[in-house]
Amino acid sequence: MGYADFHRRSVEDPEGFWAEQARLIDWHTPFTRVCNNDKPPFTRWFEGGRTNLCHNAVDRHLKERAKQNALIFVSTETDVERIYSFEALHAEVQRMAAVLLAQGVKQGDRVLIYMPMIPEAAFAMLACARIGAIHSVVFGGFASHSLASRIDDATPVAIVSADAGSRGGKVVPYKPLLDEAIALARHKPASVLLVDRGLAPMERVAGRDHDYAALREQHLNAQVPCTWLDATDISYTIYTSGTTGKPKGVQRDVGGYAVALAASIQHIFMGQPGETYFSTSDIGWVVGHSYIVYGPLIAGMATIMYEGLPIRPDGGIWWKLVEKYKVTVMFSAPTAVRVLKKQDPAYLKQYDLSSLKALFLAGEPLDEPTARWIADGLGVPIIDNYWQTESGWPILTVANGVERQPSKFGSPGVPMYGYRVKLLHESTGEELTGADQKGVVVIEGPTPPGFMQTVWRDDARFVNTYWKSIPGQLVYSTFDWGIRDQDGYYYILGRTDDVINVAGHRLGTREIEESIASHANVAEVAVVGVADSLKGQVAMAFVVAKDASALGDAQAQLRLEGEIMKLVDAQLGAVARPARVRFVSLLPKTRSGKLLRRAIQAVCEGRDPGDLTTMDDPGALQQIKDLVGAA
């Protein structure tokens, strides 16, 4: 079956289609209804069925692959490499589950996980899934205020944490941040489990704080059976990055999520049992949930959990791991590739990468120069994909596991099976069916399995935020602009709130960034719209040069700025030309690699940049402040 027919069937006969996909996982009790969309937008999948994420990720593989690699932990921060077979993973998850049960955690209780990228973080997630507790992973290193707001929203019975993480050889103590967060929070967890890595001293609060290693010793032979859960029960909540005010907890189910991940590994990622999957993300983000922990394990693959930078000890570390563990599927972000682009290209040729089928990239738009560079270097398909915390798995990409399809540089691809993606006019709600018409990317219900159920404890916010932004239409808004070409491939043009209105012309920052990025001496770029008394807004560009030595004096900078402006002028027209191009050594980003455009814009306009607790390096924003202040 060709992909077009595959997709058509998924949206025209979702019941039949998803009943077939549901065979990819184990069910303790068969479902009686595939899709209940009686109360849109609250779609419920596989009603009546009972299953368990941990059973599908671990237990069901013990018969055939008990000794096979399951979790491969690599830390270039602490020089530790540890491999857990499915059998060993099964034992560790049961130990963690027994410890949580002994701390009073019950089915439906929340457990907040605030951890570095260490095996115990995965054990905790799987243990929660095993006993029916709802985990809420908060990115390790989040500042206390952000962590406190998430503690108050999730109201966890227990928190699992560690003494510290490490980044670039620098220890990041977690425990002081956690203590401060609990002090700030109205909700006080009864129990805190701590993994002591020996990286930083810890003050323990008597009666509340417990050493995980000591408790684990008491449960070495633990036998904790899986709790069979309704398919529609809650598996976890995860907070969307960049939230302001009250955090927005994306709530996910059990059965639909398991089916969606199992299907995606097969149809999108072309993964097979016994192979190795390497996602360079973090468990604090949705990619880490779906494609470090649950997805690969459900598929019977080994998964690499990596703590470290892509350039430490050198720019070849990731490729070394691909060779060593015969990685077949790799998932990363364009930002990481742009970092690697600055390294010696010889690293790409130093290792045997013949096991690799494809490199998947997501998290932000993938510019064509970056895509071409890594494609030429690796000699494998570079597959962009577009999705959100809310969707749980890709919305737009190519499903080469169904039918080989070409990738197009600059486009994440076509709608995935189960997704009814449309482009709508933002004001009228009219559907845009022609090629190259710019509209808001929306999804019609019913949303597919694995998609968010609602906002945790706030159904009204779920409906009002996501489903009511287009006049007269009950559709899920991605809040992204897009166009679709004549072949049905979508191009994402940036957030609907990242649009620049220059003298009445509406321009997506994405379009201008793509143009600037095509200059030979541009490694990275961020474009923001800045208030202008004459034009309403003007585009301001901040560029990291590939060759910084070429910017040795003011004249050289002016020359390069002029070249970039001419390039944009030629490609997009004078209206899109930035008012200024400023040169920096790094751009402000979250720790997950997303550009903090709104913070840049706020600094340029002399406003408070807001909550910067997710920022990777505060010095990046300071550079921009200094440049703007000196103007």
Task: Summarize the chain as % helix, strand, coil (round to 5).
Answer: 35, 25, 40
Pick from 253, 285, 251, 279: which is nearest to 265 by CA? 279
pTM: 0.84
Name the segment(s) of the chain with CATH classification 3.40.50.12780: 3-308+385-480
For residue 57, the model assigns a pLDDT of 99
Classify strands 209-211 and 276-279 as parallel, antiparallel or unpaired. Answer: unpaired
Residues 249 and 238: beta-carbon distance below 8 Å: yes
Residue with tokens 């597919």: 448
Per-residue pLDDT of 522-566, as tens digits, reads 999 999 988 876 676 889 999 999 988 878 788 999 999 999 999
- Name, of 114-128, 467-481, 526-540, the range with top average pLDDT: 114-128
The CA-based dihedral angle spanning residues 267, 270, 275, 279, taken in that order and rounded to the nearest 10 degrees:
-90
- Name, of 193-202, 460-469, 608-617, the range with top average pLDDT: 193-202
Q: Which pair of structure tokens corresponds to residue 430?
A: 């009219």
Give Cβ neighbours of residue 4 (< 8 Å, ≥ 6 apart). none
Pick from 58, 132, 42: which is nearest to 92 by CA? 58
Per-residue pLDDT of 257-268, as tens digits, reads 999 999 999 999
Q: Does domain 3-308+385-480 have CATH number 2.60.34.10?
A: no
User: 216 or 598, which is more confident?
Assistant: 216
Mean pLDDT value of segment 438-443? 96
pLDDT confidence tier of residue 244, bands split at 50, 70 and 90: very low
pLDDT confidence tier of residue 245, bands split at 50, 70 and 90: very low
Residue with tokens 């961020």: 526
Indicate the angle between helix axes 3-12 and 14-21, nearest 10 degrees.
Answer: 110
Which of 45-54, 90-99, 405-414, 620-629 comes out lowest in average pLDDT?
A: 620-629
Residues 419 and 439: beta-carbon distance below 8 Å: no
Residue 629 has pLDDT above 90, yes or no: no
Mean pLDDT value of segment 429-440? 95
For residue 541, the model assigns a pLDDT of 96
Indicate the angle between helix axes 554-572 and 509-517, nearest 10 degrees.
Answer: 120
595 SS3 class: strand
Residue 383 has pLDDT above 70, yes or no: yes
Mean pLDDT value of segment 132-139? 96
10 Å CB burial of residue 483 (0-12, 13-18, 19+) is: buried
DSSP per residue over 238-262, as a string?
EEPTT--SS--EEEEESHHHHHHHH
Give Cβ neighbours of residue 617 (< 8 Å, ≥ 6 apart). 586, 588, 589
Which fold, 498-630? GMP Synthetase; Chain A, domain 3 (3.30.300)
What is the enclosing helix (H) or strand (E) of 64?
Answer: helix 62-65
User: 337 or 335, which is more confident?
Assistant: 337
pLDDT above 70 coverage of the chain, percent: 95
pLDDT confidence tier of residue 568, bands split at 50, 70 and 90: confident
292 SS3 class: helix
For residue 77, the model assigns a pLDDT of 97
Residue 76 has pLDDT above 90, yes or no: yes
Residue 495 has pLDDT above 90, yes or no: no
For residue 631, the model assigns a pLDDT of 62
Per-residue pLDDT of 279-324, as tens digits, reads 999 999 899 999 999 999 999 999 999 999 999 999 999 999 999 9
For residue 242, the model assigns a pLDDT of 38
Distance between CA 60 and CA 297 in Å, rounded? 10
Residue 168 has pLDDT above 80, yes or no: yes
10 Å CB burial of residue 211 (0-12, 13-18, 19+) is: middle
pLDDT confidence tier of residue 501, bands split at 50, 70 and 90: low
Which of 36-40, 230-234, 367-371, 590-594 comes out lowest in average pLDDT?
A: 590-594
Residue 403 has pLDDT above 50, yes or no: yes
Q: Which pair of structure tokens corresponds to residue 615?
A: 């920022």
Distance between CA 230 and CA 228 in Å, rounded? 7
CA 454 to chain centre: 18
- Radius of gyration of the CA atoms of the chain, in A: 24
Handedness of CA 527, 332, 317, 161 (dihedral sign): positive
For residue 290, the model assigns a pLDDT of 98
Residue 344 has pLDDT above 90, yes or no: no
Number of other residues whose CB lies within 10 A of the CB of residue 198: 8
Pick from 292, 518, 557: which is nearest to 410 by CA? 518
pLDDT above 90 coverage of the chain, percent: 75
For residue 610, the model assigns a pLDDT of 74
Name the segment(s) of the chain with CATH classification 3.30.300.30: 498-630
Residue 358 has pLDDT above 60, yes or no: yes
Give Cβ neighbours of residue 392 (< 8 Å, ≥ 6 apart). 252, 257, 260, 261, 286, 289, 290, 450, 451, 452
Q: Which pair of structure tokens corresponds to residue 437?
A: 């018409």
Q: What integer best gives the mean pLDDT of the chain?
A: 92
Pick from 456, 474, 446, 462: which is nearest to 33 by CA? 446
Q: Which alpha helices (H) appear in 155-270, and where do they start and end?
A: 175-184, 212-217, 255-267
Number of other residues whose CB lies within 10 A of the CB of residue 160: 29
DSSP per residue over 481-547, as a string?
EEEE-TTS-EEEEEETTSEEEETTEEEEHHHHHHHHHTSTTEEEEEEEEEEETTTEEEEEEEEEES-
